Chains A and B, each alone.
Chain A
Amino acid sequence: MQSLDDLRRMVRRIEPRRPPRAAARPVEEVLGGAVHETGAGPLVVVRREYPLAHAHGCAPLAPAFAAPLPLLAALARAEAPATDGRSLLFLDTETTGLAGGTGTYAFLVGAGWREDDRFVVAQYFMRDFDEEPALLAALAPVLERAGGVVTFNGAGFDLPLLETRFVLARRRWPALLSHLDLLRPARRVFAPSLADCRLATLEREVLGLERGDDVPGALIPSLYFDFLRTRRAAPLARVFEHNRQDVLSLVALLGWFGRALERHEGLGAAEVAGLGRLWEPVDPERAEACYRAALAVGLGGALALWVRLRLAASEKRAARWEAACALWEEAARHAAFDPRPWEELAKFHEHRRRDFARARVLVESALVRARAAETPARVLDALAYRLERLRRRAR
């Protein structure tokens, strides 16, 4: 440790000989914002306005404010739905890491809301860690007056993180914040058809937005740490732009959901089926309508199998055996082997029709397919057991 102190003394001796570094330009100037005085100190706020007709990719912002919010909230299994689109707050944070816990800061909070016929994005930025109290002081009233918050993965990340920051600063966290996390419905609707459900993927595939010179999210913390050391704000401009784009994507995505729930045209089969899954807990009949529509426009793959089994189960409950059997038979024809339609068919023939021979043929061919596919022993055992019983009953 002694040597480290020596080194530091040495550095201090060298330091003054270097020409003084040009004073960095103030952050607010570089980023086009202004310093705001909060009761808890100053911070930089960058404010941008967009007309509602602004096209984000190929999606305009306006439809978000016409979306059936209570319905959407119910579909997303959010708590108290917002009553009015105009009071929605679209929120996205940039943080010093993804680790969570008390040592991760939200150094930039982007918040968007509608003001008359414009959409406003306000970005709250702390120029150093000691401006966090000011950032939270500025954010608190914005959260308080919001009728609801819209985020993407906010339930898992942004909101717990902000809550931690509020608790640490001994500020009251608005506990009853009603929250719509678009990640949940996005997973339901897009998981089968897209490679992943990251926001960037949805932007590209759903909103038709290509971000040009976007900064990768993984680089953002180190850009902020660099800024803390160098005080050079220019490289942060891309982070601010990234954050604004994220907020606008929330608006566009909400608009997309609002429209898709009402009209299916222009949607792929997988998305329609996904909408069905979204409806499922709220309105099973509408869910089934979606499934049928999806099958009609050529839904395939594992999702189609799932949808057929789901529809068949509903037919079975209603004792519409013919329809159920038709669905099971189609499901059994799927390339990937699944024992369930075979079992259902066998049960139908054994218990309903009492056609043991037919049931036996079904189980035998299921067994052949099961052995060909890599099927767990437990499934094979169950089929073999059923076959054995059928053989006995047929005698």
Chain B
Amino acid sequence: MSEETIASIQLPDPVQLIVSNSPHIRGGETISKIMVHVLVALAPAAAAAIWFFGFAALQVMVLCTVGCVAVEEIWNKCAGRKPTWKDGSAALTGLLLAMNLSAGAPWWICILGALLAIGLGKQIFGGLGFNPFNPALVARVALLIGFPQLMTSWVVPNPGNFAACDALTGATPLGASGEAVASLSNLFIGNVGGCLGETSALALLIGGFYLLIKKLIKWQVPAAFIGTVALISAVVHHFNPDLTQPALYHILAGGLLIGAFFMATDMVTSPMTANGALIFGFGCGLITSVIRIWGGYPEGVSFSILFMNALTPLIDRSTIGKPFGYIRIKKEKD
């Protein structure tokens, strides 16, 4: 090496070196990326809602989403916290809330829902990560109890006709026990009255599949949830067809699919362990079936998920597995 080349060699400036703990590289996953993926997964269901219920559905979605983000930012401002809208979780809660409302929901229901979801459901506990209950479901259940009439009046679907949206009906696919108010094919496509996100099974399955592929939800939750509902309704229907609908009807009608894929799988409020997720899904399915078949409400998905949310810390604690290398310790002690 000649003198000149040595002189041109540049060494790093040690003063500028950052010293921190390992690991020094990161996988690049962020909270906002996760939230965007879930929003993408909800897109088919949102599109289906607009197709069947028109611009009214879009209005509900926009109001809820903007409302949730606004409530969160106002809360952050008052509490002297940094803005958090960029993490996308408030927007996701807003869209999920919209999915739980009827296209005919008046504007103030949407705003009140946003206030309940973000205020009562999330921020009061300390914000993202600390809420014990699914915020969108907290709002839905509070609204359902406070405004039962409004919350169970569905818009009659009018596929492709975006402007028309006035006919209200009280008939819900799960309302009348024993008699089907909608055909299975209409339930599958979404051509039935109901909440925005409850109607199209097809769109929800596409979104759910996306979440599974992206490994953003644990398969155990929807599998155990839907499986339990299917099993119980099949058995009950077999012995007493007058009491309830067959299993497939139970799966396609109501909020089971959106609940199983999008609500029960909420990371913050569901168990972290794989076995815990199975128990959680099973519990949701059991309570949903009991409410649907024997309970006072036609639909039990929201209640079941909220109830199981409350049990999540307990489930997590009781399903802690044995670490690698544990078995042998035990054997030696024996």
Q: Do A and B come from one complex?
A: no
- Footprint of A on B, CB under 8 Å? none
- Footprint of B on A, CB under 8 Å? none
